[in-house]
Amino acid sequence: MTDRGEPDAGDENEALPELCDLCGTVVADSTELYAVVPDSSVVHAVDPRLDGKRMVVGCSREHLAELVEQYKGRPFIDAELWAGKIGRAIEARGGKVTPEELTEETGLAEAQIELGMLWQNLGALRWHQRFGGEGPPESTEDRPG
Ligand SMILES: [Zn+2]
């Protein structure tokens, strides 16, 4: 009753140290700078309005500017973004989703979903080519020419 210690309430939710995305420096004094850059490989966990946007952190104005430059040079590929949206929708439905649900969940047109799927499959195909194996299970490859 007598000993009333000071409450140890830190302001943890206010000032979390950030890491510079360029050099990895820990910024603990809240002087970090933020920018939002376009990145088609990013889909937000829940909010579709934040899809295709990546938040980058820089320890200085110079580093932030360099990060923004780097992302400017990255191609923004719609199909990649759509593939991400499709993946999120499938996950949200526990792996089983009808085409109708997919269009509803992603807000994409059928043609966009097709392209997104194609992008996804292309990625898998490249993986097979690079890391060997027997190739895709079904040999439905079209020979060029
Ligand atoms: Zn830095």
Tell me the CA–centroid distance for residue 40 and ligand 1, in Å.
24
Taking the centre of ligand 1 as the mean of its atom positions, its distance from the CA of residue 8, in whole angstroms, is 32
Ligand 1 centroid–CA 24 distance in Å is 6
CA of 110 to the centre of ligand 1 (A): 42
Q: Which residues contact 77 (CB under 8 A, 6 or more apart)?
A: 40, 119
Q: Please give the distance, rounded to the nearest whole angstrom, from the Cα atom of residue 32 to the centre of ligand 1.
A: 9
- Percent of all residues in the chain with a pLDDT value above 70, rounded to a whole number: 81
Q: What is the pTM of this model?
A: 0.70
**Ligand 1 mean position to 22 CA, how many Å?**
5
Relative to beta strand 26-27, strand 33-38 is unpaired
User: DSSP letter at 103?
Assistant: H
Q: Exposed (0-12), middle (13-18) or buried (19+): which is 48, by Cβ within 10 Å?
A: middle
Q: Which of 76, 97, 123 is the last residue of a domain?
A: 76
In-domain check, residue 122? yes
User: How far from 111 is each of 36, 71, 85, CA to CA, in Å?
Assistant: 29, 27, 14
Inter-residue contact 34 to 56 (CB < 8 Å): yes
What is the per-residue pLDDT across 74-103, written as a single tens digit (0 to 9) for each?
A: 999 999 999 999 999 999 889 889 999 999
- pLDDT tens digits, residue range 30-68? 899 999 999 999 999 889 999 999 999 999 999 999 999
In this structure, are 52 and 65 located in the same domain?
A: yes
Indicate the residue among 50, 76, 102 that finishes a domain: 76
Is 83 found in the same domain as 60? no
Q: Which residue segment(s) compose the domain that 67 sits in?
A: 17-76
Q: What is the dihedral sign for C-alpha 117, 121, 124, 130?
A: negative
Two structure tokens written together for 3? 């000993």
Q: How far is the CA of 37 from the centre of ligand 1 (A)?
A: 17
